[in-house]
Amino acid sequence: MGGRISCEPGWKVSTDHNKGMLYWYYMVPVWLKDLDRTLIHFMHTKGITILRVCLGIVFLWFGLLKVFGVTPVGNIIELTYSFFPQQEFLLVLGIWEVLIGVGLIWKIAMRATLALLWLQMAGTLFSLVLYPPLFFQHGNLFLLTTEGEFVVKNLVLIAAGLVVGGHTVRPARLHQ
């Protein structure tokens, strides 16, 4: 009991039905189950690292666009943070994002890197408050403009930062 028996050439059926799996799963070819296990193992062992590096690439890339003055979001920043000098603010923001990217990619000073990420994301989301007409159609919070979608998608970056931080930063030990 609990072993596998042959059904047809290339197919195996588990005889252990106590694992809570649906019946159709027992009719899946063994090679597909093996592939499934391999991919799940890969996601468990490499997923957080890939997420961290990809998140870092996004910040590094977007930051460099700002540093070199070729960012497509300059208009958004100019309209929402109009009380800052545009060129200087873009440069500082770009360097800030480059630091986040470098920190994430090479896993440098992760607490500080994540703190910079949270502050940057807070500033990005705060732009929704600073100039709502740019982000919402007709003042309706559910009708986003293209710029609104661009800003709201940062919720995914925030979630990615939470996952990366939760898996790469260990709680500080308190001296007792």
Q: What are phi and psi of 55, to 5 degrees?
A: -60, -40
Q: How many helices (H) and strands (E) does the chain have?
A: 6, 2
Would you say residue 14 lies in a domain? no
- What whole-number distance in Å separates Cα of residue 71 and Cα of residue 62? 7
Tell me if 123 is assigned to some domain. yes
DSSP notation for 10-44: T-EEE---TT---GGGGGS-HHHHHHHHHHHHHHH
Residue 41 lies in a domain: no
pLDDT tens over the chain, length 176 residues = 444 444 445 555 555 555 555 666 678 888 998 999 999 999 999 999 999 999 999 999 999 999 999 999 999 999 999 999 999 999 999 999 999 999 999 999 999 999 999 999 999 999 999 999 999 999 999 999 999 999 999 999 999 999 999 999 988 887 75
User: Could you tell me if residue 90 is inside a domain?
Assistant: yes
What is the tally of structural domains in the chain? 1
Domain interval for residue 142: 47-168
Residues sharing a CB contact under 8 Å with residue 87, sequence separation 6 or more, in sequence order: 69
Residue 119 belongs to a domain:
yes
Given this model, what pLDDT does residue 113 score?
A: 98
Q: Whole-model pTM above 0.75?
A: yes
Assigned domain for 116 exists: yes
Residue 9 lies in a domain: no
Kindly state whether residue 36 falls inside one of the protein's structural domains: no
